[in-house]
Amino acid sequence: MAARVDEVARRVDQLSRGLREAGLRLTHQRLEIVRVIAADETHPDVETVYRAVRERVPTISLDTVYRTLATLAERGLILRVLFTPGPARYDANPARHHHFVCTHCGLIRDVENADLDAIRPTAEVARIGRCDAISVQFRGVCAPCQSREATTA
Ligand SMILES: [Zn+2]
Ligand SMILES: [Zn+2]
């Protein structure tokens, strides 16, 4: 699923600026990485971003993709998510949102909901420490996995 064109353009601007502020030159390769991560709403891992960028920049190295995404994540411009077993996945959606995670295939889908946004830290949370963000995670089985299960059962 692709993000809206104007929203993607806004994210590309923001991420490009972030790389320059991190002291990195905005090379053609890095710009292509930024374009891929800004438009991909599947929360891709490094390998997936690498494969997509390689279609347009055949000389790109996995290491360049890895380091570019790590730099963006260090600066808080993209989110490194560890909801699923295996490699870290990256989320370029800067808006407040929540997630549905399929425990079978590893699908991660954004969930937006004002009621969820209204959740406040409980008294217990406040005793434990300062809460900077709240994100709800719905874990379960996505519809395609459910129908696969139904046909193989
Ligand atoms: Zn699934
Ligand atoms: Zn997300």
Q: Which residues surround ligand 1, an ion (CB under 5 A)?
A: 102, 104-105, 107, 142, 145
Question: pTM, whole model, 2 decimals?
Answer: 0.86
Handedness of CA 19, 38, 56, 47 (dihedral sign): positive
Task: Output the pLDDT for position 145.
Answer: 97
**What average pLDDT is seen over the chain?**
94
Cα of 104 from ligand 1 centre, angstroms: 5
Q: Using the predicted structure, report yes or no on whether residue 142 has a pLDDT greater than 80.
A: yes
Q: Using the predicted structure, report yes or no on whether residue 141 has a pLDDT greater than 80.
A: yes
Q: Do residues 95 and 113 touch, judged by C-beta distance below 8 A?
A: no
Residue 139 bridge partners (DSSP): 101
Cα of 66 from ligand 1 centre, angstroms: 26
Q: Do residues 141 and 147 touch, judged by C-beta distance below 8 A?
A: no
Q: Do residues 34 and 15 touch, judged by C-beta distance below 8 A?
A: yes
From CA 20, how far away is CA 50, in angstroms rounded? 21
Cα of 148 from ligand 1 centre, angstroms: 9
Q: What are phi and psi of 137, to 5 degrees?
A: -120, 120
Cα of 99 from ligand 2 centre, angstroms: 6
Q: Please, which pLDDT band fits residue 2 given cuts at 50, 70 and 90? A: low
From CA 136, how far away is CA 33, in angstroms rounded? 28
Identify the three-state secondary structure at position 28. helix
pLDDT in tens, 92-140: 998 899 999 999 999 999 999 999 999 999 999 999 999 998 999 999 9
Q: Which ligand is nearest to the CA of 143?
A: 1
Cα of 76 from ligand 1 centre, angstroms: 28
Judged by average pLDDT, the poorest of 22-26, 59-63, 65-69, 122-126 is: 22-26
Query: Which has more confidence, 145 or 1?
Result: 145
**Selection from 101, 84, 104, 85 nearest residue 150 by Cα:** 104
* Domains detected in the chain: 5-82 (1.10.10.10), 95-152 (3.30.1490.190)
Cα of 141 from ligand 1 centre, angstroms: 5
Task: Output the pLDDT for position 153.
Answer: 64
Task: Output the pLDDT for position 95.
Answer: 87
pLDDT in tens, 50-59: 999 999 999 9
Identify the three-state secondary structure at position 82. coil
From CA 14, how far away is CA 16, in angstroms rounded? 6
**Averaged over 55-70, what is the pLDDT?**
96
